[in-house]
């Protein structure tokens, strides 16, 4: 039996080059060897206030971007999280096996409660439990994510372990798959903080649907330093970030990327980085423009995706129900 992969992105802001390099690019590779399930995790996104009309539109756009990036709907399952109610159901049960102390230690919760001080809701606090439910419902072996999700993944493992210790072998304890290069792509405007899809300054990130001129302009404006030497070295955050982006996209290490540009100026280097990004993203943009017009096709994908996902999720959930002592449905 092939092993299983599960991953997802929250439909907030737009899919950035950080999401692409840290997650989606690896999803495409893993499809060859694993049974893959990719979700647009809309339930996670409402932990922060969303405009309903915008959210609905963005969910469709995200799904089209998954496919445009190369997720194969013939093989991989794609669906909207809210279409498979077992996520919320398992999440409730897992809440009862997760400690307040564990959730209080999550750095993303601390960051987000600072950013959204006016709306520190219970969903924001229990968010990692829903993420654990996403993963554990499908007996997932591998979860490809960027490094910022590592702590959440460790919590998922702890919850799975804890549950298994009480009830026997119910959940597969998942492993994280974090790429060796590009696990934390940094903001182009502030290379000491991560590239974020909800950055209010669009110059900080590259959207995977940005056109070539926009990409060139954003990379040109990317913050570097004034010493003019292209090397991968502590303290050179801006250059390190561009080298990592280049390395991740060409499949080499940032150190080797630096060698390729040895003796060149920052202008040439930035042109080289733009070029590889433009080359990679152009077919994605073209495919996206086709897909977004094809509503029937997309509908079919997410409808079938939810059905296939549900049939796996139902089995896991009914096993969990039995284990915790709920009466069988008749």
Rule CB under 6 A: is residue 242 a binding residue for ligand TYM?
Answer: no
Cβ proximity to ligand TYM, 62 vs 297, nearer residue:
62
Q: What is the DSSP letter of 143?
A: E
Q: Is 13 left (phi over 0), alpha (psi -120 to 50) or beta?
A: left
CB-based contact 27:163 (threshold 8 Å): no
Q: Which of 23, 60, 142, 242 contacts ligand TYM by CB under 6 A?
A: 23
Binding track over 36-75 against ligand TYM, x by CB under 6 A: -----x--x-------------------------------
| Cα distance between the two ends of the chain | 31
Strand pairing of 77-80 and 35-40? parallel
3-state secondary structure of 228: coil
Q: Which of 184, 218, 236, 270 contacts ligand TYM by CB under 6 A?
A: 184
- Token pair belonging to 233: 């070295």
CB-based contact 102:158 (threshold 8 Å): yes
CB of 325 to ligand TYM, least distance (A): 27
Rule CB under 6 A: is residue 191 a binding residue for ligand TYM?
Answer: no
Rule CB under 6 A: is residue 245 a binding residue for ligand TYM?
Answer: no
Rule CB under 6 A: is residue 204 a binding residue for ligand TYM?
Answer: no
Closest listed residue to residue 167, CA positions, set 97, 85, 87: 97
Residue range at the interface with ligand TYM (CB under 6 A); choices 13-21, 157-165, 272-280, 316-324:
13-21
- Token pair belonging to 180: 């060796």
Cβ proximity to ligand TYM, 38 vs 266, nearer residue:
38
Cβ proximity to ligand TYM, 78 vs 183, nearer residue:
183
Closest listed residue to residue 140, CA positions, set 110, 172, 113: 172
- Token pair belonging to 95: 């809440």
- Token pair belonging to 24: 């989606």
Rule CB under 6 A: is residue 218 a binding residue for ligand TYM?
Answer: no
Catalytic residue ranges: 112, 194, 197
Cβ proximity to ligand TYM, 221 vs 300, nearer residue:
221
CB of 321 to ligand TYM, least distance (A): 22
Closest listed residue to residue 66, CA positions, set 19, 108, 113: 19
Rule CB under 6 A: is residue 243 a binding residue for ligand TYM?
Answer: no
The tokens 């096993």 sit on which residue? 319
Residues that bind ligand TYM (CB under 6 A): 6-10, 18-19, 21-23, 41, 44, 131, 134-135, 143, 145-146, 148-149, 152, 183-185, 194-195
């Amino acid at each position: 039996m092939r092993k299983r992969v599960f991953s997802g992105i929250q439909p907030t802001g737009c899919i950035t080059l950080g999401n692409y390099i840290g997650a989606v690019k690896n999803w495409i590779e893993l499809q060859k060897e694993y049974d893959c399930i990719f979700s647009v995790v809309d339930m996670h996104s409402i932990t922060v206030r969303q405009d309903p009309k915008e959210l609905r539109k963005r969910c469709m756009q995200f799904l089209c971007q998954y496919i445009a990036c190369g997720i194969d709907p013939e093989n991989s399952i794609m669906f909207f999280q809210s279409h498979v109610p077992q996520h919320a159901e398992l999440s409730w049960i897992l809440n009862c096996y997760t400690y307040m102390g564990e959730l209080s230690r999550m750095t993303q919760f601390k960051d987000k409660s600072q950013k959204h001080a006016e709306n520190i809701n219970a969903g924001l606090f229990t968010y990692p439990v829903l993420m654990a439910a996403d993963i554990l419902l499908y007996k997932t072996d591998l979860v490809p994510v960027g490094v910022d999700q590592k702590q959440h993944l460790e919590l998922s493992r702890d919850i799975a372990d804890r549950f298994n210790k009480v009830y026997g072998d119910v959940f597969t304890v998942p492993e994280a798959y974090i790429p060796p290069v590009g696990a934390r792509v940094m903001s182009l405007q502030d290379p000491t903080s991560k590239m974020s899809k909800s950055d209010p300054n669009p110059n900080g990130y590259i959207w995977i649907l940005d056109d070539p001129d926009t990409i060139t302009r954003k990379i040109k404006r990317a913050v570097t330093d004034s010493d003019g030497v292209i090397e991968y070295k502590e303290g050179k955050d801006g250059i390190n970030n561009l080298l990592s982006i280049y390395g991740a996209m060409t499949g080499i290490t940032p150190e080797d990327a630096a060698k390729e540009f040895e003796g060149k100026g920052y202008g040439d280097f930035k042109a080289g980085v733009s070029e590889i990004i433009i080359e990679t993203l152009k077919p994605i943009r073209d495919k996206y423009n086709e897909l977004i017009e094809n509503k029937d096709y997309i509908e079919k994908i997410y409808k079938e995706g939810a059905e296939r996902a549900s049939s796996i999720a139902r089995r896991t959930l009914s096993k969990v129900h039995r284990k915790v002592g709920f009466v069988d449905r008749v």
